[in-house]
Amino acid sequence: MSEPDFFGNGTYHGPFGLYHRSDLQSGLSSDEGASPPVDPEPTRTRQLSDSDCLRLLSDVRVGRIAFSRYALPVIRPVNHIVDAEFVIVYAAAGMGTSPDHHVVTYEADALDHRTLLGWCVAVTGFAEPVTATREIHHYRNRLQRWIPGQHERIVRIVPDIIAGVEYVEHHDPDPSHRPGPPLPPPTFDR
C-alpha cells in the first residue's frame, strides 16, 4: 500500500473524515465513531457503456425503481430481469405505475462496503405495462416472485438514458479487464 497524501500537519482527509498519520497506523480514527478507511488511496471512476450497463444489470437480481406518486418521489426495491435493452419488473399493488407511460428510473449496484469499489447503473425511461398474454407468460417464467401475492402486473422499462459508473482502485494494475473506457480527463474553460 502506498503512502497516503497527508497535509503538512500529518492529517489526511479520507472518505470518512480527518485522520492523523498515527491513527491510520494504529487503526483508530480521529473522528469519534468513524471507522478508518481500508485503503487511503482514492478511487477513480470509469463511465460504462450502455452494453456494459445492461450486462451488469443482468448479473444481479434486485434493484430499486424510482418514480413520482402525487408529485413526491418514491423508491421501492424490486427484482428484475434484462431482456435485450429492456428492464422487466413486477409492479406491486400501490407502486404507482399505471398503464399510462410514466418516467421511472431503475437503479442497481454491486458495491463492496469494505473497499468502496464496484459499480452503479441507472436506467431512465418509460414504464409500460406488458399486456400481451404470450409476453406475460414468458416473463412470469423468468421473473422470480420475491414477495408472494404482491405482483399485479409486469412492467417493461423502455430506456431513454442508460448511465453507469464503475469505482476502481486509483492505481488499477490492469485496466484492460474492466468494462468500459476510462473517464476522459477534466477540461476547464479558460
Residue 135 belongs to domain with CATH number: 2.30.110.10
pTM value?
A: 0.66
In a domain, 33, yes or no: no
In a domain, 44, yes or no: no
In a domain, 4, yes or no: no
In a domain, 2, yes or no: no
Q: Which whole number is the average pLDDT over 76-85?
A: 92
* pLDDT tens per residue across span 4-24: 444 444 554 444 444 444 544
Residue range(s) defining the domain that contains residue 64: 49-168
Residue 88's CB is within 10 A of a number of other CB atoms, namely 21
**Which residues have a Cβ under 8 Å from the Cβ of 180 and sit 6 or more positions away?**
46, 47, 48, 49, 52, 164, 166
In a domain, 162, yes or no: yes
Q: Of 40-49, 123-132, 151-160, 172-181, give the range with the top mean pLDDT.
A: 123-132
HSE-CB for 175 with a 13 A CA cutoff: 16
- Cα four-point dihedral sign 162, 167, 168, 171: positive
Contact between residue 102 and residue 68 where contact means Cβ atoms under 8 Å apart: yes
In a domain, 118, yes or no: yes
C-alpha–C-alpha distance, residues 172 and 115, integer Å: 13
Statement: residue 189 has pLDDT above 60: no
Give the pLDDT of residue 76. Answer: 87
Q: Which whole number is the average pLDDT over 26-44?
A: 55
User: What domain count does the chain have?
Assistant: 1
| Nine cell digits for residue 2 | 502506498
In the chain, the percentage of residues whose pLDDT exceeds 90 is: 40
* pLDDT tens per residue across span 113-143: 888 899 999 999 999 999 999 999 999 889 8
* pLDDT tens per residue across span 37-68: 555 566 789 999 999 999 999 999 999 999 88
In a domain, 42, yes or no: no
Contact between residue 171 and residue 2 where contact means Cβ atoms under 8 Å apart: yes
In a domain, 64, yes or no: yes
